[in-house]
Copies of this chain bind each other. A is one copy, B any other.
Amino acid sequence: MRVTIADVAREAGVSKTTVSRVLNDRADVDSVTAARVREVIGALGYVPSSGAVGLARGRSRTVAMLTPPLTWPWMGEVLQGVVDTVEAAGYGLLLYTCNRGAESVAHFTGQVSARAFDGLLVVEPEGTLETITAMYRRGLPVVLVDDRGHHPDFPSVGTTDREGGASAARHLRDSGRGRPLVVAGPTAFGCVRDRLDGFLGVLPTGLIAEGDFSEESGRAAVERALAGGARIDSVFAHNDLMAAGALRALRAAGLRVPEDVAVVGFDDIPTARHTEPPLTTVRQPMRAMGESAARLLLARLAGEDPPAGPLVLPTELVVRGSAP
């Protein structure tokens, strides 16, 4: 039924070896022969079986990516950066998510999926780190897009969390704010600690609430602070979702943003420009991070040595109405 290299060889009157050479653009084929083979390939609509090619070559020209839920507001950017880079290199991308928890991971490591790819890209490895480490030890090239923790063992791509936090603090300080509330993410994450350190180094405060990166937790943190009688003139939230929640709580309490309280977020998700007022935020270059991670992995597959330290891409303060 399906057209194989043998069909092409027979039709073109050459050996499979020669067809294979043409397919792989080897120089040592007579140009007339090559042209004829190419013609037959076109006429027959022949497409090589990637499974067979992979088996024979020992590698699949496919990389896998293990992600948190794809509904995270910034995953689209990361994914697009990865796909573009990987496709441009002629690789395929196999996508896995951990959102079904242990079951997903089990499946991921299980017999069906495994060994189908040459290398692995991981975003936010929490929960899967042991598994990943084991695969890494057995020789699987891995690169982390790691905005959550510090995993010095792996090649990784990150962003300037500390400087990002500091830039938010400088901006608030320079616009005359001195009583900030920080709505932090879970402090177990390395990025959270970095953002906190950077911020506090510029603008020290005792008012620190720990949220869980959800909008609701941002809202609750502000409500608690207000109910506790805290007199704040600004909020720095560790992501835009919590900042949006803070915005709501402030306005619900009758406070004006930015006149009474300025708000700065982190990430610059698509929603950030649509809140009222639009959100000033520390932008993470998610797309560039996806591209860089993919490039790092591809370089690794091409035999290059992994870089000594993590690749760190700069954040950028984006000023909008919530903290002019």
Contact = CB atoms under 8 A, between A and B. Distances in A.
A26 interface: no
Q: How many copies does the complex hold?
A: 2
Nearest to A59: B51
Interface in A135-155: 138
Interface in A36-56: 45, 47-52, 54-55
A76 interface: yes
Contacts of A270: 71, 73, 270-271
A54 B49 CA distance: 10
Contacts of A79: 70, 95
Contact of A275 (B60, B99, B276): B276
Nearest to A61: B112
Contacts of A111: 23, 47-48
Interface in A8-55: 23, 45, 47-52, 54-55
A80 B70 contact: yes
Contact of A70 (B55, B73, B76, B107): B76
A114 interface: yes
Interface string A107-145: 100011111100000000000000000000010000000
Given A71-B80, A87-B104, A93 B92 contact: no
Interface string A65-108: 00001111101110110011001101111111101100010010
Nearest to A73: B270
Interface in A207-231: none
Contacts of A60: 51
Interface in A243-272: 244, 270-271
B276 A115 contact: no
Which size class do A's interface residues fall under? 35 or more
A92 B92 contact: no
Contact of A96 (B70, B72, B83, B271): B83
B113 A92 contact: yes
B77 A99 contact: no
A3 to B, nearest CB: 9
A62 interface: yes
A203 to B, nearest CB: 27
Interface of A: 23, 45, 47-52, 54-55, 60-62, 69-73, 75-77, 79-80, 83-84, 87-88, 90-97, 99-100, 104, 107, 111-116, 138, 244, 270-271, 274-276
9 contacts: A48-B114, A51-B55, A52-B55, A61-B112, A70-B80, A71-B80, A71-B270, A76-B76, A244-B274
By Cβ-Cβ distance, the 9 closest A-B pairs, closest first, are A276-B276, A50-B116, A51-B54, A47-B114, A271-B271, A71-B76, A70-B80, A51-B55, A70-B76
